[in-house]
Amino acid sequence: MRQVTPAEGASYAGSGISIASSLTLTDIGIIIGIVTALLTFGLNAYFLRRKDQREAEEHRARMHVLEEHDDG
């Protein structure tokens, strides 16, 4: 991987600053709203998956107990 020269770094920084300075407060609010929505979706999906796994584990444990009770 090649290194970025100082001139390239300044060019990238300048372009980033010019884009950021052209954003209005409404644009920034929209971007923050989109990022918040995506993070919320991701966290909800993650915790729902953990909940599903936990419930499946509990179900397997209950079924195991019932099967042992039927055999005994």
Q: Is the pLDDT of residue 24 over 90?
A: yes
Confidence grade of residue 43 (pLDDT, cut at 50, 70, 90) = very high
Q: Is the pLDDT of residue 5 over 90?
A: yes
Q: Which domain holds residue 54?
A: 24-71
pLDDT of residue 4: 84
C-alpha span between 72 and 66 (Å, rounded) = 10
Q: Are residues 45 and 37 in contact, defined by beta-carbon separation less than 8 angstroms?
A: no
Question: What is the maximal distance between C-alpha atoms in the chain?
Answer: 79
**Residue 34 domain flag:** yes
Number of domains in the chain: 1
Confidence grade of residue 1 (pLDDT, cut at 50, 70, 90) = confident
Q: Where are the alpha helices (DSSP H) in 1-72?
A: 6-21, 25-71
**Residue 5 domain flag:** no
pLDDT of residue 60: 95
Q: Is the pLDDT of residue 72 over 80?
A: no
**Residue 62 domain flag:** yes
**Residue 11 domain flag:** no
